[in-house]
Amino acid sequence: MTNQHSSQAMTLVLGGTGKTGRRVAERLAEAGYRTRVGSRSAQPAFDWEDQASWAPALEGCSSAYIAFQPDLAVPGALATVQAFFKVAVDAGVHKLVLLSGRGEVEAAAAEEALQKTGADWTILRSSWFCQNFSESYFHGQILAGEVAVPLGLAAEPFVDVDDIAEIAFEALTGSRHTRQLYDITGPRAVGFAEAIGSIASAAGRPVGFIEVSAADYRAALVQQQVPPEYIDLIMYLFATVLDGRNTPLGDGVQRALGRPPRSFEDYVRRTAASGVWGGDHA
């Protein structure tokens, strides 16, 4: 597609190689918008832990999509994103679109900090991603044939990240989503056992599902040599975000896009057909 927006200022997409950011950057580029991916491997590089990298990445940008890594719940994240908001606004960025998380006190504090900046903001408060089963956390376990989770996780209305990316694209390129907070979920809550069963059925291969105590789950992560700070984050998210507080549905996709959200079943069908889970489609 011709770059019909080449004379416009640029959009910085932070987390531009991640699940949502990659899709946001692709949509912007395909539509001809000038786009800069913000990551440590990009040029100029962007690193959340190096504030000196922020201004060069923001130079010439009028808007930014902000997906904080690894999660807004980690210690120090609030102070970091607050500092970034200030640097961005001072650099002349007028539109900030923040990916937030449902049910996280720390994420809610980041949302409040963004709303106080005076910038044009849009907040995407999202449930757990469907793509956690295919692009990261559970993918390796599914391929290995068994998924383990801590006991007692509540059903979650998993959201397809393509819905998030579609809303983010519209928010970054138009004014209809100015100062809107969207509570984004899928169309129904799905239990983890059901989710794994659906994936196994669609992939045409057995995938076991077990629940273990939180202590055993933590011990397994330690044995896998997962860094301690990531273990703490994983256990926090399982214990807090998946305690039932996020089971109720949000209307964000319907409000933002005027259509129902993509379903978990649709995600499973499309993803199984790609062969990413092996089985009959590999």
Segment 95-127, tens digit of pLDDT: 999 999 999 999 999 999 999 999 999 999 999
Q: What pTM was estimated for this model as a whole? A: 0.94
Residues in a beta bridge with 209: 147
Per-residue pLDDT at 8 = 76
Query: Which residues of the chain carry a pLDDT beneath 70?
Result: 1-7, 280-282
Q: Is 101 helix (H, G, I), strand (E, B) or coil?
A: strand
Considering the domain boundaries, does residue 56 fall inside one?
yes
Considering the domain boundaries, does residue 207 fall inside one?
no
SS (H, E, C) 141-157: HHHHCEEEEECCCCCEC
Considering the domain boundaries, does residue 251 fall inside one?
yes
Average pLDDT, whole number, for the chain? Answer: 95
Per-residue pLDDT at 231 = 95
Give dist(CA 128, CA 156) in Å, integer: 7
Q: What's the domain count of the chain?
A: 1
For residues 198 and 191, the answer to whether their CB atoms sit within 8 Å is no
Considering the domain boundaries, does residue 225 fall inside one?
no
Per-residue pLDDT at 2 = 42
Considering the domain boundaries, does residue 272 fall inside one?
no
Check which CATH number belongs to the domain holding 52 and give it: 3.40.50.720
- Tell me which residue range forms the domain holding 89: 10-129+160-185+247-261
Segment 226-239, tens digit of pLDDT: 999 999 999 999 99
Considering the domain boundaries, does residue 106 fall inside one?
yes
Segment 257-273, tens digit of pLDDT: 999 999 999 999 999 99
Question: With DSSP H G I counted as helix, E B as strand and the rest as coil, what are the percentages for the chain, rounded to 5?
Answer: 45, 20, 40
For residues 54 and 85, the answer to whether their CB atoms sit within 8 Å is no
Give dist(CA 267, CA 207) in Å, integer: 17
Per-residue pLDDT at 220 = 95
Per-residue pLDDT at 4 = 55
Return the closest-CA partner of residue 145 out of 208, 221, 212, 195.
208
Considering the domain boundaries, does residue 66 fall inside one?
yes
Considering the domain boundaries, does residue 190 fall inside one?
no
